[in-house]
Structure 1
Amino acid sequence: MALVDGMHQLVKAPIVLVRDRLNTHISHAMRELVAEGAWLTVFLLPAYTPDLNPVEEMWAYVKRSLANLAFVALDRLEVLVRNRLKRLQYRPDILDGFMAGTGLALDHRASP
């Protein structure tokens, strides 16, 4: 929940959240955040379906760009990960590819 809210504060843009039905992902506090956040669109997946989760492919993409790098401090890694994620914002073709790989369509908003 803090990550989603923090990401919204960082990018200052609407967020699309694709989540599974793990109990911590559908907590009372998370339901409140979804209800309050007009900036947040949520799509629900079944309980465990990594092949249907475009975020899994997105993180794999980011991790590949970090392969064979050594970091002397955690803050340096954080800067690089933020940079990689920021670059993805300007690559809708790649983001669309992550979604297309799932076979899912973005045609309706799921209720939390």
Structure 2
Amino acid sequence: PAIRPVQPRYEWLYLYAFVCPESGASQFWLVPEVTKQAYQLVVAAFAASLGAGPDHHVLLVEDGAGFHVPPVEGHPPGIETITLPPYSPELQPVERAWNLTDRPLANRCFDSLDELQDVLGRQCAWLETQPDLITQHTLFHWWPLCTN
């Protein structure tokens, strides 16, 4: 067998997702990194997009990922968080959305990160228009429904 040189190269693209299991509303954010700072910026933009504030509270369910850290001054007004127990991805509704985001990516090789971002971005934009599909995948039978 011949030995062949390999040149490993990596480029990264990350997807942050927010879903409301009851309404099916969703937001997807493609970002270049998973860091505390990136997470804080995305949560701030998410809160602003929903009009979160003193009179409009949003509950954000987080896992224990190391980057799920609010800024020193805390999350934006109106954002409340609950952290799931360790090693319990089955309790996180958004975990079931990944198979929806991954569908156009499966078994494909992309020539560039830009091509991957374009395909994934189109899928996420489409998913944001499919609340019934999001609800079908994320609304657990035990999920507490909103009473307002």
TM-score normalized by the length of structure 1: 0.65
- The residue number in structure 1 matching 2:118 is 79
Query: How big is the shift at 1:72?
Result: 0.5
SS in 2 for 1:31: coil
Q: CA RMSD in A?
A: 3.2
Name the count of aligned residue pairs: 103
Given that 2:61 and 2:83 are in contact with CA atoms closer than 8 Å, whether structure 1 keeps it comes out as: yes
Distance apart, 1:71 and its partner CA: 0.9
In structure 1, runs of 5+ residues without a counterpart are none
- Paired position in structure 2 for 1:63: 102
The structure having more radius of gyration, on CA atoms, is 2
* 1:5 has 2:41 as partner: yes
Question: Is the 2:96–2:137 contact (alpha carbons within 8 Å) kept by the matching residues of 1?
Answer: yes
Query: TM-score, structure 2 length as denominator?
Result: 0.53
Deviation, 1:18, is 2.5
The amino acid of 2:124's aligned partner reads L
> Quick one: distance in 1 between partners of 2:43 and 2:67?
16
**Residues 54 and 102 in structure 1, CA contact (< 8 A), matched pair in contact too:** no
The corresponding residue for 2:63 is 20
> In the TM superposition, what whole-angstrom CA distance separates every residue of 1:43-75 from its partner, at most 9, and x where no partner exists?
432112111112221112211232232210011
